[in-house]
Copies of this chain bind each other. A is one copy, B any other.
Amino acid sequence: MTSTLGFAILAVLAKGARTGYDLTAAMSRPLGYFWTARHSQIHTDLQKLLADGLVRFEAEHGPGPQGKKVYHLTPEGRVALREWVTEPARARPERDELVLKTYASWLADPAEVAELFRDQLALHEERIAEYERQQAGFQTVPATGEPAFGSYATLWCGLSYERHRAAWCRWMIEQLGAGA
């Protein structure tokens, strides 16, 4: 059974052949802001995909003791990815440390908690600016059949998420100030 990370790898490879190293770069922040992985995990998962016949590689002469392996999708890999896309997504349990801290925030000094939220707010505002810059790079919304549609749609989601989060931080800061 292919793991979700496996499909994430296939999704990136669907846009073009890449080495494990390139995949790692693509799946690190800020590029891969919805599924991240370390190179160690990517390499081991590539070996599983290889065994399942979903990817293959061309060995190339390059740096490192083992040279360079440029992975690409097999037709089976492309089919598996396409079928996975429309299957219902398994809900992952929400685990949010900041929300948990909020739940216990009544125990702490409101001014110190507000400090925490001011830091978070600054972070979200930075990301909003970054995402807006990226969004401005698109002249129009790409059509649903174009590879760029995936990038645009995830960017829209990320931007919406950061705005929601920023609004929550502002509300918290306001509450914590008023209660002091």
**A residues apposed to B, CB below 8 Å:** 4, 7-8, 10-11, 14, 29, 33-36, 78, 81-82, 84-86, 88-90, 92-110, 112-113, 115-116, 119-120, 141, 143-151, 153-154, 156-158, 160-161, 163-164, 167-168, 171-172, 175-176, 179-180
Contacts and interface: CB of A to CB of B under 8 A. Distances in A.
Given A86-B115, A100-B11, A164-B160, A95 B144 contact: no
B116 A86 contact: yes
A172 B149 CA distance: 11
Contacts of A144: 105-106, 110, 113, 175-176, 179-180
Main secondary structure, interface of A, reads: helix
